[in-house]
Amino acid sequence: MRPKTWRYLECLIMAVLFAIPSHLLAQSRLERDGVVLYWGLVPAAIVAQRHSLEEMHGSVPSGGRLQHLVVALFRADGSRIDDAIVRAQLSETGIVDPAPKYLTPMTINGEASYGQIFTTVLSGTIHFRIYVKLSRRDSDIEFDILASPQ
């Protein structure tokens, strides 16, 4: 992608993020080992207004608060990573951690990203550990995310 187009895309993403009320979206950027990870956590009900959750991720869990975690990965040069294997593990204080879930590849506006639905039980801060496996690396790159879903 050309630099001018890249800047336009960044401005567009920021405009969309600012247009969404802050209580509906927690979003951030992390960088580790030459990989930039952008993430967002949105109530699954918001996503379900425009997309079929079943078509995107298979079965939808029942009970609790359903949250949709979205991850986009980039190389240090700004190019998008579209061939990673991404898993995420949810942790809530006082609750046994479930096994990590695979984030399914998704295409949003023609660009690769990864997402999955998680059920939160408690209100307050939750922790995600994201595992990114790249074909050129032997080990996963780990990212830690703290979020306060509404």
pLDDT score, position 26: 45
Give me the mean pLDDT over the 94-119 stretch.
86
Domain borders along the chain are: 22-147
Residue 108 reports pLDDT greater than 70 = yes
Q: What is the assigned CATH class of domain 22-147?
A: mainly beta
Residue 25 has pLDDT above 60, yes or no: no
The reported pTM is 0.72
Q: What is the pLDDT of residue 13?
A: 53
Condensed to tens digits (0 to 9), the pLDDT of residues 28-65 reads: 899 999 999 999 888 765 555 555 555 555 565 566 67
Q: What is the torsional sign of CA 58, 148, 27, 95?
A: negative
125: exposed, middle or buried (Cβ count in 10 Å: 0-12, 13-18, 19+): exposed
- What pLDDT shows up at residue 110? 87
